Structure 1
């Protein structure tokens, strides 16, 4: 019998290419905001100026750092409080949204998020902070942006290689949602459609970087991915990548893009129904085959070694990640098979090796 519990997060979404500035002005007026803090990195400053042309900003803040170090968050919180801010507008990728969430978590100031990548953080109530080389994540409804404004034109400045990595980061939300701690049929449906949209959009971006159709599909898919992830919760893939990012300072999107096929190969044999759903979304005979074909077409990130990770870090990564991997993971996780997974991801070895029966038996022992 079909029995489950599902929570849908309340959030307003405004989607339209070329409409970000118009939508932001209208949303700021609707919320009655008088003192707006705009968070945008120096790299995103020009885009942010255009997006916020129709509103008056009381404060601009550009100290955006990957993985949101605690000291960076504290400075942004202080700035918001001292300036009497009543609305945060963040324009940028996951790090920018993450900083806005860090401010909202302690101040309760609402957020309007304007994403320029496919990270998906804008559609979740998940926060992350890094302190002393350890990344901590949690869930708090105060950090969920009240409104997300999607505009595919804002992603045109994102290079193809970063679009690929960011889009595969979004796809990782879909995959993890199919075996997350709170997986349910609604999450699974959203995740499958997210995979389909991203698998259609990312090759279109690579083929025509200046076109909007592929970027609109990728944004749509990234949103679905994040919504499913917010409901299903953080699974094995994200627990591993948070450790790699927080402890070893690896780049967020590229790390997710690299690790994804290894976690998929590791878990897929133990979840045939979810595997079949993913395969259908890819239009392939198996989920791993579909993902790998897509990654080949996209020339996706291949090895953690390319981003500074070394074999010397594997033991520490296993030690930190193993205790936080959810107990409902489809396949039991041991120090032995997690080491094998990270070793394969380090060098870019064929992820199909992780489906070996010997490893499956080793995990069960």
Structure 2
């Protein structure tokens, strides 16, 4: 083996019902006295619970998905006006993203308290949108100094949004298998994250109050994010950044919808990884003819070399079936009219290292299929 792996340094505190205790301890550890609490209006009650031991210098509730630059600028000015020396962001990926945008230019440390399964809290990746273009970058200043995971804070997250958010985490796992800087460590973390998320989402759907399942989801999304932070942004994320930044599609639902199609495109080119992913999702690939349930599930003949890929796609489809996951971009306002511009933007951003060469034809086909919710199979791209 020959690779270079980067491990990011941050403290992770994990404990059910201990968010307020952990947040106060981390603020004290950082020597801060003027905290800024960032939480959207809908998460004010959760934020008050998690910051119960603090006396915030500033409450900030203007949180917008994809972090518009003007919102980031406004939050930075407010932080400066109130002499903020630490940010406590409580919420989902948009909340963490705003804190990162502030930290990018101010260096103010972040304590992240996730209430969804987005995973942004464990990465040094930032993103902002300006004039319909979402720009992302990597900077250690935006990596939260501490992350507090408390399943109690996610128990009110609706099941549908829990599924979409968890599948956003699953997308981090899948993308990290073959992203530009993927290595065996990233892949091991990603596969364990996929295993945990698969079990967690099934558990949440079976019982929304299952805190053990929600803890597994937090564990899985953390592993997903750690692997993604090291492996970098692959084709899936480039596509979703275009759809989110340019067409203002909802973040989690977009990732969930697009993921099976990117997997169907790439998996045939990396059969070993596809087999390992299928196993992580609960379906082992041993090559025996009698075990070729993947072909039967898809209603298609499957060529020998495509079997691991078909198994991975079918395993993911089974999770989507059980969880009634998002399945078509048209449900979120995307249309045929947007596909040509989306293809053009994706081609400019797509990594050259993608397992399958990225072309206008296969990206257009992928977006058309994701638009209508066509059943994803490897035959869509490998007929």
**Shorter-chain TM band:** over 0.9
The alpha carbon displacement at 1:113 in A equals: 0.1
Match of 1:244 in 2: 243
Q: Which residue, 267, 270, 295 being the options, matches 2:320?
A: 295
Task: Answer yes or no: is the 8 Å Cα contact 2:339–2:368 preserved in 1.
Answer: yes
Cα distance in structure 1, aligned partners of 2:235 and 2:182: 13
Are positions 1:350 and 2:375 aligned together? yes
The DSSP-based 3-state class of the residue aligned with 2:26 is helix
The alpha carbon displacement at 1:354 in A equals: 5.1
Gaps of 5+ in 2: 286-310
Cα distance in structure 2, aligned partners of 1:243 and 1:274: 26
Cα distance in structure 1, aligned partners of 2:379 and 2:182: 23
Cα distance in structure 2, aligned partners of 1:112 and 1:39: 10
Cα distance in structure 1, aligned partners of 2:218 and 2:55: 27
The DSSP-based 3-state class of the residue aligned with 2:57 is strand
- Give per-residue Cα distances to partners, 1:53-75, cap 9 Å, x unaligned: 11111000000001000000000
The alpha carbon displacement at 1:274 in A equals: 1.1
Instruction: Note the 1:202-351 alignment, pairs <5 A.
Output: 202-284=201-283, 285=285, 286-351=311-376
Instruction: Note the 1:1-365 alignment, pairs <5 A.
Output: 2-284=1-283, 285=285, 286-352=311-377, 355-358=380-383
The DSSP-based 3-state class of the residue aligned with 1:351 is coil
Task: Answer yes or no: is the 8 Å Cα contact 2:164–2:253 preserved in 1.
Answer: yes
The DSSP-based 3-state class of the residue aligned with 1:154 is helix
The alpha carbon displacement at 1:357 in A equals: 2.8
- Give per-residue Cα distances to partners, 1:169-222, cap 9 Å, x unaligned: 000000000010100000000000000000000010111101201000000000
Cα distance in structure 1, aligned partners of 2:259 and 2:70: 30
Match of 2:294 in 1: none
The DSSP-based 3-state class of the residue aligned with 1:57 is coil
The alpha carbon displacement at 1:82 in A equals: 1.2
Cα distance in structure 2, aligned partners of 1:134 and 1:239: 12
The DSSP-based 3-state class of the residue aligned with 1:322 is helix
Moved more, 151-160 or 282-291: 282-291
Moved more, 346-355 or 80-89: 346-355
Cα distance in structure 2, aligned partners of 1:16 and 1:71: 36
Task: Answer yes or no: is the 8 Å Cα contact 1:269–1:355 preserved in 2.
Answer: no
The alpha carbon displacement at 1:355 in A equals: 4.6
The alpha carbon displacement at 1:353 in A equals: 5.2
Question: TM-score if structure 1 supplies the norm length?
Answer: 0.97
Task: Answer yes or no: is the 8 Å Cα contact 1:341–1:354 preserved in 2.
Answer: no
Cα distance in structure 1, aligned partners of 2:382 and 2:134: 33
Cα distance in structure 2, aligned partners of 1:23 and 1:139: 27
Task: Answer yes or no: is the 8 Å Cα contact 2:65–2:94 preserved in 1.
Answer: yes
Cα distance in structure 1, aligned partners of 2:379 and 2:86: 47
Match of 1:363 in 2: none
Could you list the runs of 4 or more consecutive aligned residues of structure 1 that deviate by over 6 angstroms after TM superposition? none
Cα distance in structure 2, aligned partners of 1:135 and 1:79: 23
The alpha carbon displacement at 1:14 in A equals: 0.1
Moved more, 111-120 or 21-30: 21-30
Question: TM-score if structure 2 supplies the norm length?
Answer: 0.92
Task: Answer yes or no: is the 8 Å Cα contact 2:313–2:378 preserved in 1.
Answer: no
Superposed CA RMSD in Å reads: 0.8
Gaps of 5+ in 1: 359-365
Match of 1:361 in 2: none
Shift in CA distance, 99/211, structure 1 to aligned 2, threshold 3 Å: same
The DSSP-based 3-state class of the residue aligned with 2:254 is helix
Task: Answer yes or no: is the 8 Å Cα contact 1:176–1:234 preserved in 2.
Answer: yes
The alpha carbon displacement at 1:30 in A equals: 1.0
Match of 2:291 in 1: none
Cα distance in structure 1, aligned partners of 2:335 and 2:380: 23
